[in-house]
A and B are shown apart, each in its own frame.
Chain A
Amino acid sequence: MTATLADVFARVRTEGRSALIGYLPAGFPSPGAGVELINAMVGAGVDIVEVGLPYSDPLMDGPDIQAAVEQALLAGATPDVVLDTVEQITAAGATAVVMSYWNPIERYGVDRFSARLAAVGGHGVITPDLTPEEAGPWISATTAHGIDRVFLVAPSSTDERIATVCSVTSGFVYAASTMGVTGARTTVSSAAPELVRRTRALTDLPIAVGLGVSTGAQAREVAAYADGVIVGSAFVRRILQAPDRAVAVSAVADLARELAAGVRGN
């Protein structure tokens, strides 16, 4: 078994830095290439991998991730491809979580999904459109199978709401830095530090910031106040722009190295 989310956050804390969390959809641009790209990301310094489960209606995602999941679905991505991907990258040493819209998990069966994910070595699931109010069966299933549940807080969340979200969350809290969809941005929202400050007052869980981080400098800026830095669209964009698989692999590794330096304050 690879390091748990708690292990990773404990380790980076002793190293005096933030964790680097990288997202890529499973099966993008194809099942085999997807695994190779994620392994390249991990080899170049990503601490936790978010494996996206491609979904037909990604209404929280901007154009880059929309394009990527569309390609992945055309190339045959299913929940089983996601689980295979987790199994393979776990075998290579990665700490993996799944990121999924709710319907595919509900359709697969919450207990079945939790059990299979645990069996292939996955550590958690991020569910951006599952609210704590609707999460009853999910909480039971993930608890039974030792899977961490990552929920989101947003700049518009009240303190009361943040407390509710944190009460059902484990592993880490995902702080959405901005009001908007995924996508690389030139600046990280000024709302993020305040959201992290408010969240920290209400929980002892590690807090990772996502949405809009795309460069080493931004990673350094966010690492100054958050326990984790989440990067997705910027990786996806490098792959979309690459003329072939070899270029994509080295572009992903280059970005991971730049970001890994950033979360170390360099």
Chain B
Amino acid sequence: MAIESIAPAGQDASGHFGPYGGRFVPESLTAALDELDAAYHAAIVDPEFIAELAGLERDYTGRPNPLTRAARFGELCGGARIYLKREDLNHTGSHKINNVLGQALLTKRMGKQRVIAETGAGQHGVATATAAALMGLECTVYMGEEDTRRQALNVARMKLLGAEVVPVTAGSRTLKDAINEAMRDWVSTVDRTHYMLGTVTGPSPFPKMVRHFHEVIGREAREQILAVEGRLPDACVACVGGGSNAIGLFSGFMDDPQVQLRGYEAGGDGVATGRHASRFSAGSPGVLHGARTYVMQDEWGQTLPSHSISAGLDYPGVGPEHSWLHDTGRAVYEPVDDVEAMEAFAALCRTEGIIPAIESAHALAGAMRLGRELGPEAVIIVNLSGRGDKDVETAAAWFGIDLAQRP
């Protein structure tokens, strides 16, 4: 199938989405970003690249993944017809592999031998380490020390795959600090290293490029829902960390105004407590990690620490295209707090026999809210962005399951 891009709403050639996006980077990176932009644009019209990526998606990732009707879970969503887009069934367990395979092929085309990545939940780190192993690239992953603790299983997976994992002890020791450290590595090693940014944030061309590699989610979902329901859905629902799984799903329905696009951010302990990652509820436009976008910041423009039970949503910035979709009203963003997310997590486990990633549980909680609002006739696609294996320890602690005790 041809990989064709739908022009993102408001995106211009210089990588802006309305007033958002752009490039705010040290001059040392300009040449590398230009090189990447050129390599990306050349690749996505090159039949050889298109075929190679499609082959990997089919034979390695296992695409297309199913669109699963979740009838029992739907009963908890006001009886709405809920469909799960099963990114959790991809090789490595989340949507992150879609982007990584595309960027790994680009790395080879640019003649670079080493990749670096930041990771929060560890899913992007695992996907990067996987692609690096597959393609014979050196791999270093930066991960906040706090996250190496709560996602210890993924640290082990990365190491098994041959990657070096560097715990970052600066700042809040989470995803934002891992990105700072990865950027520092990149400016120093850019002639032989590609930075595999894991979401639709960062300087241009990352937001549009990462989006492109995730558009497969929306393309498949659209085809699948038309086949089973004979119509477009009423809403598409996704969790939003940086926003890559959300933009991937949304991209398939962007030009269908009757399809509501709903993004769910981490509400943490509750937006009112200040301990959350709800950029659209409590942030404002600013510049973080190379792009203008909504940022959680204080009155002086210092980045505020974010908080969530979910490492993958625990980030004070968001992809610039989401900022534009928010301002234009094309997509609507709401916070889901830890408690509500974990209720949805448990609900999916018990009704469908599927353990979701805690990130994805935020989208499930959103579907429960939205389904009750839209009623039983509604058709809703939820992006099940990842599986919950990595979160078993966190969930066990939350629900009071003693892992040390014998049954």
Contact = CB atoms under 8 A, between A and B. Distances in A.
Nearest to B35: A156
Given A56-B303, A103-B288, A107-B301, A181 B184 contact: yes
Nearest to B177: A57
B171 interface: yes
A208 B160 CA distance: 47
B28 interface: yes
Contact of B31 (A102, A105, A157): A157
Nearest to B182: A59
Interface string B175-204: 010011001100111110000000000000
A176 interface: yes
A181 B184 CA distance: 6
Given A59-B184, A66-B170, A179-B190, A131 B288 contact: no
Nearest to B184: A181
B23 A154 contact: no
B32 interface: yes
B202 to A, nearest CB: 11
Contacts of A60: 26, 184, 187
A154 B186 CA distance: 14
Contact of A78 (B32, B300, B303): B300
A129 B23 CA distance: 9
Interface in A70-109: 70, 73, 78-79, 102-108
B277 interface: no
Contacts of B300: 78-79, 104, 107-108
A58 B302 CA distance: 11
Nearest to B286: A103
A134 interface: yes
A101 to B, nearest CB: 8
Contacts of A108: 300-301
Nearest to B188: A180
Chain A interface bracket (under 10, 10 to 19, 20 to 34, 35 or more) = 35 or more
A63 to B, nearest CB: 9
Given A59-B183, A103-B297, A179-B191, A153 B27 contact: yes
Interface string B12-30: 0010000000111111101
A245 interface: no
A114 B225 CA distance: 54
Contacts of A156: 27-28, 30-32, 190-191
Contacts of B287: 102-103, 106, 129
B50 to A, nearest CB: 30
Nearest to A158: B31
Contacts of A155: 28
A152 interface: yes
A181 B187 contact: yes
A8 B169 CA distance: 41
Given A56-B302, A59-B289, A102-B24, A131 B187 contact: no
Interface string A124-147: 000011110110000000000000
B44 interface: no
A252 to B, nearest CB: 25
Is the contact region of chain B dominated by helix, strand, or loop, or is it mixed?
Answer: mixed
Contacts of A158: 31
Interface-central residue, B180, B191, B300, B302, by most chain A CB under 10 Å: B300
Contact of B184 (A62, A73, A157, A165): A62
A157 B289 CA distance: 20
Contact of B27 (A62, A78, A157, A181): A157
B295 interface: yes
B24 A131 contact: yes
A45 to B, nearest CB: 29
A59 B180 CA distance: 5
A151 interface: yes
A133 B23 contact: yes
Interface-central residue, A59, A73, A104, A161, by most chain B CB under 10 Å: A59
A134 B30 CA distance: 13
B26 A104 contact: no
Nearest to B203: A131
B302 A104 contact: yes
Nearest to B191: A179
Nearest to B180: A59
Contact of A165 (B24, B27, B187, B297): B27
Nearest to A81: B300
A155 B295 CA distance: 31
A143 B183 CA distance: 32
5 contacts: A57-B288, A60-B26, A103-B287, A129-B290, A153-B27
Lowest 6 CB-CB distances: which A-B pairs, in order? A107-B301, A104-B301, A156-B31, A180-B188, A154-B28, A103-B287
Given A104-B300, A104-B301, A179-B191, 14 more contacts: A60-B184, A60-B187, A73-B302, A103-B297, A106-B286, A129-B25, A130-B24, A131-B22, A154-B31, A156-B27, A156-B31, A161-B27, A176-B26, A176-B27
